[in-house]
Structure 1
């Protein structure tokens, strides 16, 4: 009988590898075929979509139109939506929300009459609550007039409230729409941020000198500073002829302190202050004082918790110029002769 053990021998390693290689090649071929089929299908789908876009919009470069979705907001509790939206807070965020749909940004006709839109209602709440980073300050905002002034614009004003809203003396004028920059002429003039009354806490402002030799500092808030009355006459808070007018505007907000005006003369760095009665100091040297010139930025830090006024030059702290302060104050600037400067409310430097 012929020996048939050869047919029953186990496969060699070489034989197994050869069979495995054949299987891999077959599988690879199948995958390539499937990939080619998918690519053809994808190309066909892209071509179909392009043809559709050309029919709808006339050009393959145009983007497809996303159909708008309609959401019924009448079933949502308005007070709940208002509460959620109130966490946005800033005028820019609320403006963007107002642009999303009519229900948020338009005034809605209600049975009781024409009410505020959701965005206007939230803007009113935030502007009136003081939740806009102005702690320790009382801000006088533009009055709300339906149809002419929106609460959204008032909120925007409250977020950046530091402006020179009161100009006193001849030849002084604003040089930008925000009323944060002023230019003076040949006379003695003064600009006051009377809408921003600092009553407690810590406040910091910067005065950017763009020309001349201004004086910058603080003064008591006064309701009788009539711009038309002082438009043609030289005006500054050290004028002896005006002391009675200043003291006549005194309120309980001033407190018991006797520093009613305090200035830093930028060119020399010297300090001056007055109680508008029997005490006045002009040209006082103080530790750390330095002169400033065109291009420099004078920062002032009013700390009503400690009763101090510190001065910075180009973000560098020079020191405390005056202590013993109490009561309410406004930022102000004066000039003798031509000058120009800008005021800005910001955070104090870390150094």
Structure 2
């Protein structure tokens, strides 16, 4: 045994001692790190035990022997809450879309309750109050009547939020369609034109978007507000804002200071071939070309975005952007349409407010370019 030990000892090289020393040093470092971690962990445990003791003492002082508070879920019986209070709170919702979302949350809001004296749900009652309080008698006449199973108060409120009316008719060959002031159609002989104006909606700044559902070949555009124009003076003849020189003096006398220095007093988009006409009521520019010009078909929905911050009028067809038909616009404008009868089709248009498609809302200003 002693011989074997001495032989192994004699075989060790001088480098072995250095390796052993290095390993022992590394082991000492690791042991020191472990001890430090143990000290830090004990300290953290002590802190947590102290905090828990403080919570326990606080709970005992308040008569609660639980270390942590217990949250108990509660169910509120809305039938025991006065409906007038619920209606008042609900009335702060801003739109028919938000009311619809509320109606879908639970039956207590969206369904008629058997114990309620209302003939409809709480949400329907809020929608009824909102529509009746905001809409004028004239506007209410353009809205559908409430009929259970056919028209809800939510749908009536939604219609009101998107309501635009043709409240002024100029010329003897146009009428409201079925008494609905949001829709007009041509009457009378072939190629006899008349105009409908949404005069109560005057656009003076910002961006405004409207949608026109078209039949036939109407003209659609913007015109200066002229509240002093006597519609009765034109109820027997033909009427157009552009292309009728004999009427231009009547229009210019309506000029007011808020028109400013802008030269474009009327601008219209011709649905049939996509041309653009505009006038300063001294000279008419008929059928100007523009980038994006495209012909239309009966049944299309034409959208128009008037951006008075940038002075542009942009057209889209069936939610697809076509382009800017006019720039350099300033001052106030109203929407209008010009309709006529044709051998194969009679012009008709309905109008409503809408939300501009993303392709229009996010576009950068693109100046109108004349194509030579």
For normalisation by structure 2, the TM-score amounts to 0.56
Matches within 5 A, 1:255-270: 255-270=260-275
Q: 3-state DSSP class of the match of 2:247? A: helix
Question: Deviation per CA, 1:217-241, whole angstroms, max 9, x where unpaired?
Answer: 1111111233322110111112222
Equivalent residue number for residue 224 of structure 2: 220
Offset of 1:85 from its aligned partner?
Answer: 2.5
**Hey, what does 1:171 align to over in structure 2?**
173
Shift of 1:159: 1.6
> Aligned-pair distance for 1:284?
1.0
Is the radius of gyration larger for structure 1 or structure 2?
A: 2
Post-superposition CA distance 1:117-157 (Å, at most 9, x none): 999986687x49xxxxxxxxxxx88499xxxxxxx999777
C-alpha distance 236-92 of structure 1, shift in aligned 2 (>3 A): farther
* Partner secondary structure for residue 229 of structure 1: helix
Conservation of the 8 A alpha-carbon contact between 1:174 and 1:181 = yes
Give the structure 1 partner of residue 59 of structure 2. none
Residue 198 of structure 1 pairs with residue 203 of structure 2: yes
Give the number of equivalent residue pairs.
251
Q: What residue number does 2:324 align with?
A: 320
How big is each residue's C-alpha offset from its partner over 1:32-84, in whole Å with a ceiling of 9 and x where there is no partner? xxxxxxxxxxxxxxxxxxxxxxxxxxxxxxxxxxxxx997969x9x8x97466
2:253 corresponds, among 230, 248, 271, to 248
Is 2:351 the counterpart of 1:343?
yes
d(CA) in 2 for partners of 1:337, 1:143: 28
Q: Does 1:281 align with 2:280?
A: no
Do the aligned partners of 1:86 and 1:122 also contact (CA within 8 Å) in 2? no
The secondary structure found in structure 1 opposite 2:249 is helix
Contact kept in structure 2, 1:141 and 1:157, CA below 8 Å: no
Equivalent residue, structure 1, for 2:144: none
CA 1:195/1:141 → structure 2, altered by over 3 Å: closer, same or farther? farther
1:215, distance to aligned residue in structure 2 (A): 0.8
Hey, which of these two has a bigger chunk of helix by percent? 2
| Gap change, CA 1:156 and 1:292, over 3 Å in 2 | closer
Change over 3 Å in CA distance of 1:199–1:124 after alignment to 2: farther
| Residue of structure 2 in register with 1:87 after alignment | 93
Q: CA-to-partner distance for each residue in 1:102-122, whole Å, 9 max, x for gaps?
A: 79x9xxxxxxxxxxx999986
Q: Residues 201, 245 of structure 1: CA spacing in aligned structure 2 closer, same or farther, 3 A cutoff?
A: same
Say which SS state the counterpart of residue 237 (structure 2) adopts: coil
Corresponding residue for residue 59 of structure 1: none
CA RMSD of aligned residues (A): 3.9
Instruction: Specify which structure has the higher proportion of strand.
Output: 1
Q: 1:281–1:330: structure 2 CA closer, same or farther, 3 Å change rule? A: same
Aligned residues of 2:128 and 2:157 also touching (Cα < 8 A): no
Q: Counterpart of 2:181 in 1: which secondary structure?
A: coil
1:36 aligns with none
Segments of 5+ residues of structure 1 without an aligned counterpart are 1-68, 106-116, 129-139, 145-151
State how far apart, in whole Å, the 2-side matches of 1:318 and 1:118 are: 40
CA distance in 2, matches of 1:73, 1:333: 49
